[in-house]
Amino acid sequence: MDLCRCKEKSTNGYPEKKYRLADFFDMHWDEYMKSPSKFVEPEQLKAVNAMRVCRTPVLGVDIYACPDCGEVTKVYHSCKNRFCPTCSWKDTMKWAKKIKGKMLKVKHRHIVCTLPHSLNSLIKRNRKLLLSSLMRSAAATFKDWVENKHRLKIGIISVLHTYGEQKNYHVHVHMIVSWGGVDIKTGALKEIKEEYVNYKFLQKKFRCKFEDELIHLNDTKQLEHDFTSRQEFMTYIKEVNKKDWILHLEPAIDTPTEVIRYIGRYSKRACLSEYKITDIEGEYLSFRYKDYRDRDEKKKPKEKIERLHYRDFFPRLLQHVPPAKFRVVRYYGLYSNHGRIPEEYFYKETEITTETETEEDFLYCKMCKKEKIFVDTFYYDHRIKNNMFEEINKIMKEKEKEKHAA
């Protein structure tokens, strides 16, 4: 039984994957690199190389075998790169399971803060600085507002995305905001009863907080740009402000299950889900996306297909590889330091019922009703190609001798 990328089955409710992103890179990446459309950064190259060897013999294969019948299971190692579709999904599920017991026993609200596209060129030249500024400004907007209006300290889980449905550059931050928190005076846990917010006020507050940081970075000469004077820079900011900045607030989420589902959907997942790839044909790849500007009679966005040549697809996708050591998931307010919150304020494990990934127990021999034992780890060499099973049998016999000798 092989657990490699070519044999992987769906276990999370989606249909089986028909196409693999790594396969498309295998087909065209080497040719693309002879004359790339855009400069390929080291972190982008690292992500591509990791994705291409993920769950292949190159990274190693763990061998498990039934002690009675000898049925062998090969478990291929994963690359663990956060841009890899397979690894990012599994990492997200593990993270969501871990974080669920560290959330307050109050409703939570999903909020999205988006930067205008007119800032894109400046952001791309100052990615770490301005993406960090966005995450801080968005969190501070709601932390300050709730503290002043409701006299509560809240917790925020913030997740950065730089892509839209068609994988164009679209910078925004998803936040899971506790709709309640710890009372500043009494220390009691309280929930915010009303859902209404002054949208225009928060919209302006978010814009002002981000622009304050932007102006400070410019005045302290930390910002890279082509403006010749401060006046020219401020004129640019005024142009940006001609269009309203977008905030999106969804209704407060009642149950912990829904909170975790949102976290899983918007956290560490890869830029392009392989389930959305509809076709790989020669030099072209097609994927599904939702067009929010074109809606049906029920006001739902219509689903459409984007078809791209690899010379267009590769740079569009890779522009979303995060900078080295950049944290795309951050915690603010009460969630930045769990040690200061009384234990009874958290959701307990018994209070949360989540949809978990139901995987086949591939290390259990159904025929012999026994658990398979670890034999060894193999790497890409002659043993993988020619005589893997001879090596496995040899090692198992040695283990059996050691067992009897003991």
pLDDT tens digits, one per residue of 28-60: 999 999 999 999 999 999 999 999 988 888 888
* Segment 206-251, tens digit of pLDDT: 999 999 999 999 999 999 999 999 999 999 999 999 888 999 998 8
With contact defined as beta carbons under 8 Å apart, do 61 and 74 qualify? yes
Report the alpha-carbon distance of residue 192 to residue 185 in Å, rounded.
16
Nearest residue to 178 (alpha-carbon basis) of 198, 158, 196: 158
Q: What is the pTM of this model?
A: 0.82
Report the alpha-carbon distance of residue 339 to residue 50 in Å, rounded.
36
Distance of CA 345 to the CA centre of its chain: 27
Report the alpha-carbon distance of residue 260 to residue 74 in Å, rounded.
32
In the predicted structure, residue 83 carries a pLDDT above the cut 80: yes
* CA distances from residue 190 to 140, 178, 179, 251 in whole angstroms, order as listed: 20, 10, 9, 18
Strands 155-163 and 169-178: antiparallel
* CA distances from residue 247 to 204, 206, 262 in whole angstroms, order as listed: 10, 9, 17
Give the position of tokens 């099973």.
389
Largest separation between any pair of C-alpha atoms in the chain: 83
The residues spanned by each domain of the chain are: 2-82+359-405, 86-271+320-351
The class level of CATH for 86-271+320-351 reads alpha beta
Report the alpha-carbon distance of residue 138 to residue 244 in Å, rounded.
15
What's the rounded mean pLDDT across residues 6-32? 72
Report the alpha-carbon distance of residue 130 to residue 124 in Å, rounded.
9
What's the rounded mean pLDDT across residues 374-392? 59
Q: Which residues contact 75 (CB under 8 A, 6 or more apart)?
A: 3, 61, 62, 63, 64, 362
| Residue 88 pLDDT | 73
Residue 58 exposed, middle or buried by CB count within 10 Å (0-12, 13-18, 19+): middle
Q: Can you list the positions of beta strands (E) in 179-235?
A: 180-183, 189-191
The dihedrals phi and psi of 73, each to the nearest 5 degrees, come to -120, 130
In the predicted structure, residue 351 carries a pLDDT above the cut 70: no
> Residue 131 forms beta bridges with which residues?
none
| Residue 134 pLDDT | 97
Report the alpha-carbon distance of residue 323 to residue 43 in Å, rounded.
7
In the predicted structure, residue 151 carries a pLDDT above the cut 90: yes
Coil, helix or strand at residue 163? strand
| Residue 388 pLDDT | 47
Q: Which residues contact 249 (CB under 8 A, 6 or more apart)?
A: 109, 110, 111, 197, 199
Confidence class of residue 402 from pLDDT cuts 50, 70 and 90?
low
Cα torsion through 134, 135, 137, 142, rounded to 10: 140
352, two tokens: 């949360």
**Residue 294, Ramachandran bin (φ over 0: left; ψ between -120 and 50: alpha; else beta):** beta
In the predicted structure, residue 188 carries a pLDDT above the cut 60: yes
54, two tokens: 């993920």
